[in-house]
């Protein structure tokens, strides 16, 4: 209705304008000028009589053969019938008029909407669908038969890659476990063949183990699937490869699109369902009340400002009045909270005592802002045993290493790791380290735990802040990147020096320094120089990144030392009576004793050829032996 009123008003206005335009005075009288014989001239003489100086264009009669400005004719339908309007197209030299302020009405809005256009189009598609499909298929066939492989567009070379009939459209999937020899062999086979495959590590994605059992009847790995078809394990794959039928089977199963009932690939951001092993800590009810009621504030103690603390007496009073606890029980609760690392003494002097001793919550510790496994709040769940968490750490980091590094682990793809679901789950798992009881670990468990934690933290640090450049940046890298573990902060420096080296000072001041928060009760009592070959700093000159098991950590460290020396850690120039050693041997020289004993120790980890040269050089009596330390390559092992 509104559109009809607007159109009617427009038509009436046009009629009146047309009647007025038919009466034009030329100085001698009135002559009727036809609409078709009038046009606007932008070239009228402004100095002639009767000229309009305010308007550069005037209305004049056209002569036959005179150049005309084109006109556009439109038709409008209303209740009175069709009406035709002619619109003058303005000359390009005329100034362009500016529309008045307000809502603009376009020409399309004035025109009546198309009637039943959608219905007509759908009817046409239904009637001609077969013909259209046939023509499109003909076009596809023509493109498929085309011999064109490249062409140029505006100087840009475009290479056409034609799809082959044997192109894989399906999916190769196999279930695996961390540190599984057969799973590694399957992975290596697919990599050498250049196949894109989907790996599901049930040590990382524990919720997928149930699916594996349902599909195969057991949880043994590896288990390989071509689309939804179960091929079998490594033995079946090896038999298929030896029979020469592997390529044919691939062509049969994988040239078709993967069906919906095939094993789904790993999805980023989806955690496993509720973990029954994770429960709230029994002390959470007390902690919740204390966080709300305690007067936490800054205080002056020992000539320094101590932030975010409270006194033991204040805590006892709140437990007594708000939780109806006797004083003896309240003190016992305070000791348990300190033992479980909910609270700490501000100077680490005692566990918990009533009175004017000051404490703070773990989340208020000054070091907490530097801890990269802290995400705004501490983990208040009941801590799992340190051995269980250490095993989970080993499995997930082995899975990351196997999936995103070269076969010999000398090159690591940090970009892909940062975007992987495995690394996301590792970051979630790292929060379980907050309040672990590390004291309960055995010697072997402690050694493997901190070796693995160090290497995992290096990967996290390289992803988060990148490889440091320069002496100062390297020092900051090893001291400032920290985790909160067992209620205390651990940097890369403190793990290497305070724990693994038992508090020995570092000979190289460029890398690190002793962290102020030492824990001598956790440090290894006996120095083991092999630990230096199990720690990877993410550089090309450092040992290869690896992770260790508590059961075989000693043998695995010996293997790491053997590989390090075999791959350039020591070189012998017999003619120059020179031994070239890794600079790591200089930085931690005190860990390897004096030179003669150190070389005898090294002989246990080098091959027979190098051992013979070294023995001859040290015992031939030909003079002194030169020791040259190799330049350290600080570039990233990417």
For 124-138, 223-237, 271-285, 419-433, which range has the lowest pLDDT when averaged over its residues?
A: 124-138
Peptide bond into 222 cis (omega under 30): yes
DSSP characters over 390-458: HHHHHHHHHHHHHHSB-TTSSSB-HHHHHTSHHHHHHHHHHGGGTT--GGG--HHHHHHHHHHHHHHHH
Give tens-digit pLDDT for 565-608: 999 999 999 889 999 999 999 999 889 877 778 888 999 999 99
| C-alpha separations of 400 from 108, 173, 179, 418, 424 in Å | 60, 17, 11, 10, 11
Its pTM stands at 0.72
Give tens-digit pLDDT for 269-304: 876 654 555 667 788 899 999 999 999 999 998 888
The answer to whether residues 589 and 582 touch, using CB atoms and an 8 Å cutoff, is: no
User: What was the pLDDT predicted at 544?
Assistant: 96
Of 407, 408, 400, nearest to 430 (Cα)?
A: 400
Instruction: Please tell me the distance from the alpha carbon of residue 299 to that of residue 306, in angstroms, as a whole number.
Output: 5
| C-alpha separations of 307 from 49, 146, 367, 403 in Å | 94, 76, 12, 45
Give tens-digit pLDDT for 89-148: 666 666 666 655 555 555 455 455 555 555 566 666 556 666 665 555 555 555 555 566
User: What was the pLDDT predicted at 117?
Assistant: 52
Helix (H, G, I), strand (E, B) or coil at 243: helix
In which band, very low, low, confident or very high, does the pLDDT at 252 lie, cut at 50, 70 and 90?
Answer: confident
- pLDDT above 70: residue 168: no
Percent of the chain with pLDDT over 90: 53
Pairing of strands 38-41, 30-32: unpaired
């Amino acid at each position: 209705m509104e559109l009809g009123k607007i159109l009617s008003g427009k038509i009436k206005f046009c009629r009146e304008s047309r009647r007025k335009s038919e009466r034009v005075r030329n100085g001698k009288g009135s002559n009727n000028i036809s609409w078709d014989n009038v046009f606007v001239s932008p070239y009228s003489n402004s100095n002639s009589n009767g000229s309009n100086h305010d308007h550069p264009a005037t209305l004049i009669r056209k002569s036959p053969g005179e150049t005309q400005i084109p006109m556009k004719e439109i038709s409008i339908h209303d209740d009175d019938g069709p009406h035709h309007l002619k619109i003058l197209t303005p000359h390009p030299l005329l100034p362009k008029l500016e529309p008045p302020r307000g809502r603009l009405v376009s020409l399309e809005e004035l025109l009546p909407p198309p009637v039943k256009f959608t219905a007509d189009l759908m009817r046409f598609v239904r009637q001609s669908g077969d013909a259209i499909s046939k023509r499109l298929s003909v076009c596809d066939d023509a493109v498929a038969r085309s011999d064109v492989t490249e062409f140029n567009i505006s100087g840009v070379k475009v290479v056409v890659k034609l799809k082959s009939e044997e192109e894989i459209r399906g999916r190769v999937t196999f279930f695996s476990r961390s540190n599984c020899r057969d799973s590694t062999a399957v992975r290596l086979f697919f990599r050498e063949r250049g196949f894109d495959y989907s790996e599901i590590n049930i040590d990382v994605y524990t919720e997928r183990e149930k699916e594996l059992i349902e599909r195969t009847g057991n949880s043994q790995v590896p288990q390989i699937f071509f689309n939804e078809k179960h091929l079998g394990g490594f033995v079946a794959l090896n038999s298929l490869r030896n029979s020469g039928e592997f390529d044919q089977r691939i062509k049969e199963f994988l040239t078709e699109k993967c069906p919906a009932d095939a094993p789904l690939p790993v999805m980023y951001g989806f955690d496993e369902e509720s973990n029954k092993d994770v429960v709230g800590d029994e002390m959470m009810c007390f902690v919740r009340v204390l966080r709300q009621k305690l007067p936490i504030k800054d205080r002056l103690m020992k000539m320094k400002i101590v932030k975010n603390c409270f006194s033991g007496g204040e805590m006892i009073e709140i437990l007594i009045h708000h939780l109806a606890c006797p004083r003896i029980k309240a003190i016992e609760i305070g000791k348990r909270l300190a033992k479980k690392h909910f609270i700490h003494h501000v100077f680490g002097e005692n566990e918990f005592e009533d009175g004017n001793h000051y404490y703070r919550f773990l989340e208020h510790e000054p070091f907490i802002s530097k801890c990269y496994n802290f995400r705004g709040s501490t983990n208040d769940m009941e801590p799992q045993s340190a051995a269980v968490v250490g095993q989970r750490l080993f499995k997930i980091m082995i899975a990351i290493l196997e999936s995103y590094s070269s076969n010999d682990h000398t090159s690591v793809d940090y970009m892909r790791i940062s975007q992987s679901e495995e690394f996301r789950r590792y970051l979630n798992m790292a929060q379980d380290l907050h309040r672990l009881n590390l004291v309960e670990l055995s010697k072997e468990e402690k050694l493997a735990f901190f070796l693995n934690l160090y290497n995992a933290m290096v990967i996290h640090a390289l992803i988060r802040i990148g490889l440091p450049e320069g002496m100062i940046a390297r020092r900051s890298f090893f001291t400032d990147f920290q985790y909160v573990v067992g209620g205390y902060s651990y940097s890369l420096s403190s793990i290497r020096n305070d724990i693994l080296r038992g508090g020995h000072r570092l000979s190289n001041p460029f890398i690190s320094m002793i962290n102020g928060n030492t824990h001598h009760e956790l440090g290894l009592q006996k120095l083991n120089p092999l630990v230096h070959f199990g720690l990877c700093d993410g550089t090309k000159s450092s040992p290869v990144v690896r992770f260790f098991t508590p059961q075989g950590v000693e043998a695995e460290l010996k293997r790491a030392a053997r590989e390090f020396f075999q791959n350039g850690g020591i070189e012998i120039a017999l003619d120059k009576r020179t031994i070239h050693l890794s600079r790591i041997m200089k930085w931690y020289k005190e860990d390897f004793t004096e030179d003669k004993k150190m070389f005898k120790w090294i002989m246990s980890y080098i091959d027979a050829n190098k051992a013979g040269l070294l023995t001859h050089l040290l015992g031939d009596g030909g003079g002194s032996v030169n020791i040259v330390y190799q330049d350290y390559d600080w570039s990233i092992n990417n």
